[in-house]
Chains A and B, each alone.
Chain A
Amino acid sequence: MTATAPSTPAIEFRGLRKSFGTNEVLKGIDLTVAPQHVVCVIGASGSGKSTLLRCTNRLEEPTGGSVLIDGIDITHPDCDLDLVRRNIGMVFQQFNLFPHLKVLGNVTLAQRLVLRRSEEEAQQVARDMLERVGLSEKADAFPSQLSGGQQQRVAIARALAMNPQMMLFDEATSALDPELVGDVLEVMRQLARDGMTMLVVTHEMGFARRVADRVVFMDQGVICEQGPPEQVLEHPETPRLQQFLEQVLEH
């Protein structure tokens, strides 16, 4: 896999560190995500995987090391974060749709403000994206009128409308009722098939197994093990990963 990877990774973490007060959550992470690859990050809660993801667009400010997006060091003080962020779509566990706007408004707002698209163009893009996630008939609903799964798909459409070069998923299905998880995962799977670069923090081992190019297991702020899904998930080497997988697969 490394042999075929282009010279510039889409995402690269170099010795990334993050502390909250005296609590060091990330203890030097080195990781690369090649363009059009899907990397799934797994690990117990508190292992630092969400923090890693949130450092990728600096929603969380790293305390050490650097993050490179397409070779650009976004931890450099001169780097315009707003420019970087518009190219990185992010999907949150709690959806974070704007409750005061209808679905269409949610998907058009940043297009108009950030990309300066006309209302007409933004709406056209929004309707295309809503169709892509299977929710074109919900354009005029308020988020509160949608199920969790539908809200999350709107959130994905909202991110996609910005034509991002890569997508971050922060436990996108963890807040959903079990029967709604499938629709969201299907949209993510389709995205991966279309060649989107994706960094996915997830508890869905089935998704990781089928969709990921690489699975990364994090434990206590370090990457403990990584590799192709069949290797990491079927033949774990470290006792920690073995124990984690046993716990997860028991359910």
Chain B
Amino acid sequence: MTDIATEQLGDGDVPELYRSGRAKRNRSRNFRIAAYAVGLTVIVSVGLFADWAKIADSYFDLERAKALFPDIITIAAKNTIVYTVFAFIGGVILGTSAALLRLSSIRPYRWVASIYIEIFRGLPALLTIIFVGFITPIALGIRFPKVLGVPTAGIVALALVAGAYLAETIRAGIEGVPKGQVEAARSLGMTHGQTLRKVVIPQAFRIVIPPLTNELVLLLKDTALLSVLGVTPLTKELTAFARAEGSKGFNGTPLVIAGLLYLAITIPLTRLVAVLERRNKQAR
């Protein structure tokens, strides 16, 4: 303080002690320049040394890409979406039920829910899919019906897996609703069930919308695992379709197109969640 006072500064001037700001500014600018330089070098060297013609041919063959349409949309993408939507609906129903059982006051109910959750969260999804798709129909003589031209075995398997993950998410959502909400509802004479249905669950779902959508995206990607269930041409989803097309002549173009289609679904989905979250904020 005394240093500053003795320097006889004008109004708005910066004393010598505080001038180190300039050196810091210079340092951060130099670091930024260096970072740009490194990035540019990498891009230029890749551009110079890569065999662009071969890459274009292997991954972006326009003729091959054209040949994929319209089947890649009308069959493959459609099936992927059907698998995802039905598995998600099933998963939410299973997950909500398991979450409520986990929170039940009846101990055996809690056990049942825990066992279900632990099994299907702990097993690889692929194993569940093979088990439900191949073993169960033979062992139990069950024939899975078709929904919208798609076999339901895959949907059931994915729903079982998704339900186990969603159960924990939804349980956390239910427990995330403040205790005061339940107390307020009960103090008004509402029953346990009414409180759950009208106060707790609506708020819990608002809390879990982001993780729920995350699960939807994961599920969409997991439909690729269904390609192991010997699919017929009409029941192929995106990955099975692209793989079959790609293996004709060992070309990557179908996989690239399939990848772009996955992104065309997942990216708007995550954007949508951001919008929903913002809109929900005032009602929370």
| Contact flag A92-B184 (CB < 8 Å), given A98-B199, A100-B203 | yes
Q: Digit string of B191-235 for contact with A (CB within 8 Å is 1, else 0)?
A: 100100011001100100000000000000000000000000000
Q: Tally inter-chain residue pairs, CB-CB below 8 A.
A: 72
User: Is B189 close to A, CB under 8 A?
Assistant: yes
CB contact between B184 and one of A88, A98, A113 (< 8 Å): that residue:
A98
Residue of B nearest to A155 (CB): B184
Stretch at the interface among A24-32, A64-72, A78-86, A205-213: A78-86
Given contacts A92-B180, A96-B181, A98-B184, contact A85 B282 (CB under 8 A): no
- Which residue from B180, B188, B283 sits with its C-beta under 8 Å from A114? B188
Chain B residues contacting A155 (CB-CB under 8 Å) are 184
Chain B 259-284 near chain A by CB (<8 Å), digits 1 or 0: 00000000000000000000000111
Hey, what's the 0/1 contact readout for A83-99 against B, CB within 8 Å counting as 1?
10111111010101111
Whether A85 contacts B188 in the complex (CB less than 8 A), given A100-B284, A142-B283, comes out as yes
B181 nearest in chain A by CB position: A96
Residues of B contacting A144 in the complex (Cβ-Cβ under 8 angstroms): 282-284
Min CB gap A119→B, angstroms: 14
Q: How many angstroms between the C-alpha atoms of A159 and B283 in the bound complex?
A: 21
The verdict on A59 contacting B189 (CB below 8 Å), with A99-B284, A100-B202, A109-B198 known, is: no
For the complex, give the distance between the alpha carbons of A57 and B187 in Å: 7
CA distance A155 to B181 in the complex (A): 12
26 inter-chain pairs at a CB distance below 8 angstroms, sorted by A residue, are A57-B187, A82-B189, A82-B190, A85-B186, A85-B188, A86-B189, A87-B189, A88-B187, A89-B187, A92-B184, A94-B180, A96-B183, A96-B184, A98-B181, A99-B283, A99-B284, A100-B206, A100-B283, A114-B189, A144-B282, A144-B283, A144-B284, A145-B282, A155-B184, A159-B187, A162-B189
Q: 8 shortest A-B CB distances, which residue pairs?
A: A86-B189, A110-B188, A96-B184, A96-B180, A90-B187, A114-B189, A85-B189, A113-B194
Binding site for A on B (CB under 8 A): 178, 180-181, 183-191, 194, 198-199, 202-203, 206, 282-284
- A96-B183, A99-B284, A100-B203 are known; give 11 further A-B pairs, CB within 8 A: A82-B190, A82-B191, A92-B183, A98-B181, A98-B184, A98-B185, A98-B203, A99-B203, A110-B185, A144-B282, A159-B188
